[in-house]
Each structure stands twice: as structure tokens, then as C-alpha cells.
Amino acid sequence: MAGSSRPDHEIHARYKGRMKRLVIAVLWGAFLAYAFVLLPDGILAPLEKEIGSAWTIVVKIAGGSALGPLLAVVFFSSDSAFNGSGKTAKWTRAILPSVVCAEKTGYSLSEAGTLWFRYFDTWALPASPNQAILQNTYSATYTARLVYHLTRACAILFGLSLVTLAINHWVFGAYQAAKEAWPHILVTGLYGVGWLWLYLNNQIGGERGEPTGAWKRLDEVFGRSYVLINLEVLDGTNSVVEAMAKVDELRKKLSAGGAN
């Protein structure tokens, strides 16, 4: 959906940028907490002897500050919530307006995709009555991506923390006193609760039942999007060529209305 020539580019960039900033901020804080609380002292002890406690703290800050954004970059490198091979991506692709359009009309996925995005572009024109749903579409898709990334991040941090607890105890002999373990258990528990809350409150649809949370909103927005293209474009047309021509007519009409 990105591209400098698209009229909705600024809107798209705003929602995408906000999602990325939120993911990076949360991961930065979460990994900083891991570095300060959970990172095994046995690993840092030799370093502390060499450079001192003050510089060891600097190393913790630098390491924790780097790991979060680094994981975020890995997440952003592929749009796995929509283009991946997992259940979530398969479900989101199945409810895309272009895919539903292809299923209902018999057009190929390529034809339906081209038709859908040409129609979707018209929503950003000043005279379009669909500007509100354009905003909702980008908001819903990037909120879903936000939830998807944070759910994975919490699961990774929870698993990493459990492994770290085991290393601290079995390798470095930590937690001889119960009070030594509580800060580590608390941080690990926060990661686990975060993952569980996000997972349970944001379920995709399909065999699991109706979608919930961010995925429910995405399903509703995509559903309304298909209703609109069906009413404004597909209704009364018998071929993809006719549908494309109808979109071109709609664009001309909206462009003229925006110019007045």
C-alpha cells in the first residue's frame, strides 16, 4: 500500500510509523529490564573485574537498548502477519477484500487485486465519502500488526527469561535465598502475563471461532470494504474490464468534485 505516487501515501506512512515507534519503544523497555534484572551476574562478573561496575552498567544499558530495536527490525523485515506461512497470515489473507472479491466474482487474484487497489485509491480523493473508512482500514491493519509483533515479542522474552532463570540457578548457583529470586520471577511473570493477555484477547477467526480484539476489528473493516466495492463497482458489471472502467469513471467524478 506504500508508494509516493499514491494519494493515500501520507496516511499510510503515518499509521505505519506510529506502529513501528510503539513496537520499538515497548521492546526497548522490555529488553532493558531483561538486561538489568535477569542477565546472569556470572556472565558479567569477569567483565566487571576488568572495566569496573560503572562501565558494566553502561554495557547493560547499551546491550538492552540495542536488543529491542534489533528484534523490531527483524519483525519489520517481513510482513509476516499478512505474508507469512503461519495460521495468522493465512487467515488475514483469506479475509482481504481483494481475495473475497476474487472468490465472489471468479476473477483471478491478480485481476481482483488490481481492481481492489485502484478502487481503494479513490478513497483518498478529497471528494470521496469513504475517507473515514480509509483511515479505519490503515488503523485496523497496523493495530493488528502491532498486536501481532508484541504478542511474539512477549513470547520470546518469556521463553528467554525462563531459560535465563534456569541458567542462573543451575549454572551460576543463584537464588540461594528466596529474596534473590523474586525480582527475576516478577519480570519473567510480567512477560508471561503480557503474552497471555495479548494472545487470549486477540484471537483470529476460523476454526477457533469468531475473531476477537484487533483481529475482530480488522475482519469488520475488511468486510465493510468488500461491501463498498460490491455496491460501487461490482454491482451491474459482468467482467473485470467493465469493473475497471467503472472505477475509472468513479475516479474522474471524484477528482472533478474535489476540484470544485
Q: What angle do CA 109, 112, 113 make, to 5 degrees?
A: 80
DSSP 173: -
In the prediction, which pLDDT does 58 show? Answer: 81
Among 214, 220, 216, CA closest to 144: 214
In the prediction, which pLDDT does 259 show? Answer: 45
In the prediction, which pLDDT does 63 show? Answer: 83
In the prediction, which pLDDT does 179 show? Answer: 73
Cα distance between residue 64 and residue 200, in whole Å:
28
In the prediction, which pLDDT does 173 show? Answer: 74
- Which 3 state secondary structure label does DSSP give 209? strand
The one-letter amino acid code at 124 reads A
pLDDT tens string, the chain, 260 residues long: the values are 433 445 578 889 999 999 999 999 999 999 999 988 887 766 666 666 666 677 777 878 888 889 899 999 999 998 999 999 999 999 999 999 999 999 999 999 999 999 999 999 999 998 999 999 999 999 999 999 999 999 999 999 999 999 988 888 887 777 776 677 888 899 999 999 999 999 999 999 877 689 999 999 999 999 999 999 999 999 999 999 999 999 999 999 999 875 44
In the prediction, which pLDDT does 26 show? Answer: 95
Contacts 24+ apart (CB under 8 A), 251-257: 251/118, 251/121, 251/122, 251/125, 253/127, 254/122, 254/125, 254/126, 254/127, 254/128, 255/125, 255/127, 256/127, 257/126, 257/127
In the prediction, which pLDDT does 2 show? Answer: 39
In the prediction, which pLDDT does 206 show? Answer: 79
Among 20, 23, 16, CA closest to 153: 23
Kindly compute the dihedral angle of the four CA atoms of residues 51, 53, 57, 58, in this order, to the nearest 10 degrees.
-30
Cα distance between residue 1 and residue 188, in whole Å:
38
**What's the predicted TM-score (pTM) here?**
0.88
- Residue identified by cell 506512512 is 13
In the prediction, which pLDDT does 61 show? Answer: 84
Query: E strand or H helix at 256, and its extent?
Result: helix 240-259
Cα distance between residue 251 and residue 245, in whole Å:
10
Q: Which residues contact 124 (CB under 8 A, 6 or more apart)?
A: 6, 7, 8, 11, 131, 134
- The secondary structure of 59-110 as a DSSP string is HHHHHHHHHHHHHHHHHHTS-HHHHSSSHHHHHHHHT-HHHHHHHHH---HH
Domain ranges of the chain: 80-259
In the prediction, which pLDDT does 54 show? Answer: 75
Q: How many CB atoms lie within 10 A of CB 257?
A: 12
